[in-house]
Amino acid sequence: MGILTDTYTLNTGATIPKIGFGTWQIPNGEEAYNATAFALQSGYRHIDTARVYGNEESVGKAIRDSGIARAEIFLTTKLPAEVKNYEEALEKFETSIKTLGVDYVDLYLIHAPWPWSDRGGDYTEGNIQAWKALEEIYKSGRAKAIGVSNFNSTQLQSILDNGTVVPAADQIRFFIGFTQDETTQFSQDQGILIEAYSPLATGRILNNPDVKKIADKYDKTVAQVSIRYTLQRGTVSLPKSTHEEYILQNADVDFEIDAEDMAFLDGLTDTEE
């Protein structure tokens, strides 16, 4: 499964495996531990978690117990979305590192531009303050790269205008039919890597007949076509699963969707968004 060791290069110069194991909604304890351990055993070398997922403890333990050198694993966690000030951002990072039981993370992201309880609210100043903390952490070497999540182009521009470090990544919801083209284009133009979370639309895409048609043509599953699509769009793909069969299947995406089929998939729109 060569694809699991294929990488992009971040604007820091560090490499990042193109496929990461997403751990959103995997409960702390046995479930997160086993899923992460299995992903690592299966060759995944990129694990994506967040303080708010509540599973940093089990994810970190699975990484430490894996016997794989820390340097060979790319680990991301995220600053809770409601933290919009410098001091608390520094504190929350400490909590994450301690809970994960690691000396550093490879990528630390501001989880969202606004608290989840106030989606769409304007936290421009708070994001600038939080970003200052991330820059500090980056300069200390304890986050090898820093970035954001769920930011649109305006919110990214404000970080570019007010910060001294260009975000390395923007992790956004991205799947066939929902590709946030403006944000994606803006980021890619700025050398900010787009990371696709929910590449399967949290499972909803699995019943999409248009994608199924393409999957049948390539003798692949809808999940595999969906993940492959995100990779061919130049994004990191972060599929989440707790089933061993799926964890393996989602990494078996070493095939090529041709230009015509990519164009067809690009043209689909997700009616539920």
- Among residues 53, 108, 138, 197, which one is catalytic? 53
Q: Does the footprint of ligand A2P cover residue 241 (CB under 6 A)?
A: yes
Site for ligand A2P in 162-201 (CB under 6 A): 198-201
Under DSSP, the state recorded for 52 is G
Element (H, E) at 1: none
Among 121, 140, 243, 266, binds ligand A2P (CB under 6 A): 243
Alpha-carbon gap, residue 192 to 133, rounded angstroms: 19
Q: Does 22 contact ligand A2P by CB under 6 A?
A: yes
Distances in Å between the alpha carbon of 193 and those of 116, 169, 268, 269? 23, 4, 23, 23
Q: Return the closest-CA partner of residue 127 out of 83, 190, 161.
A: 83
- How many residues of this chain bind ligand A2P (CB under 6 A)? 18
* In the complex, minimum distance from the CB of residue 30 to ligand A2P, in angstroms, rounded to a whole number: 14
Between CA 58 and CA 30 the distance in angstroms is 7
Residue 218 φ then ψ, to 5°: -95, 0
CB-nearer residue toward ligand A2P: 158 or 221: 221
Q: Which one among 110, 223, 225, 231 touches ligand A2P, defined by CB under 6 A?
A: 223
CA proximity to 173, closest of 127, 240, 249? 240
Nearer to ligand A2P (CB atom), residue 132 or residue 240? 240
Least CB distance to ligand A2P at residue 100 (A): 21
Of the candidates 29, 8, 46, the residue with the CA atom closest to the CA atom of residue 247: 46
CA–CA distances in Å: residue 58 to residues 123, 127, 247: 32, 29, 17
Nearer to ligand A2P, 127 or 198 (CB): 198
Q: Is residue 105 involved in binding ligand A2P (CB under 6 A)?
A: no
**Binding ligand A2P by CB under 6 A: which of 85, 246, 252, 262?**
246
CB 208 within 8 A of CB 221: no
CB 77 within 8 Å of CB 99: no
For ligand A2P, the closer CB: 164 or 271: 271
254: three-class secondary structure by DSSP: coil
* Binding-site member from 135, 206, 244, 252 for ligand A2P (CB under 6 A): 206
In the chain the first and final C-alpha atoms are separated, in Å, by 33
Among 104, 166, 242, 252, binds ligand A2P (CB under 6 A): 242
Among 145, 250, 257, 268, binds ligand A2P (CB under 6 A): 250
Tell the smallest beta-carbon distance from residue 75 to ligand A2P (Å).
18
Would residue 123 show up in a list of annotated catalytic residues for this protein?
no
Question: Could you list the active site residues?
Answer: 53
Which residue ranges make up the site for ligand A2P (CB under 6 A)?
A: 22, 198-203, 206, 221, 223, 239-243, 246, 249-250
